[in-house]
Structure 1
């Protein structure tokens, strides 16, 4: 049950990151929330396998902070690459 809440928490953090960062028009609507949810769940499972207690506060903090960091990083990287690719394509097309 806790894993479901972690995935939902990561999804909410991804939504916040998507609508807070400036390059949201350069990628799909579900990319950043999906990445954040996946990262939160993978970190959560890895930490439970490492022996961290499910009801401890640190496992929640680490999982959700990691999902936020990765969501912001992916948003920035994908946005930059997309803008560069669009610029190159415009030059190639003669614009």
Structure 2
């Protein structure tokens, strides 16, 4: 049941991260929070299976912090890819 707390925290912080990162117009609103929540779920579940208890701070830091870190990196990568793709399309169209 504690996994819900980690997922809600990762999603809420992912929403905040979306608004803090530049070039929001090049990506969807749900991309960053979705990645953060999915990664947090995977890390939390993996660490629980590995035997880390729910009272361990490392479980919470790794799941929420790791989710936010990977979401930020993935968002930056997706934004850069979108920027390059848009530039290539404009060049192809002669704009």
- Shared fold (TM-score greater than 0.5)? yes
* 1:31-83 CA distance string (max 9 Å, x none): 11000000001000000000000122110011111011111101100000000
What residue number does 2:24 align with? 24
Superposition pairs of residues 47-62 of structure 1, within 5 angstroms? 47-62=47-62
Alignment partner of 2:29: what SS? coil
TM-score normalized by the length of structure 2: 0.95
Identify unmatched segments of 5+ residues in structure 1.
none
- What is the total number of aligned residue pairs between the two structures? 95
Identify unmatched segments of 5+ residues in structure 2.
none
Alignment partner of 2:10: what SS? helix
Stretches (4+) displaced over 4 A: none
TM-score normalized by the length of structure 1: 0.95
Superposition pairs of residues 27-46 of structure 1, within 5 angstroms? 27-46=27-46
Alignment partner of 1:54: what SS? coil
What residue number does 2:4 align with? 4
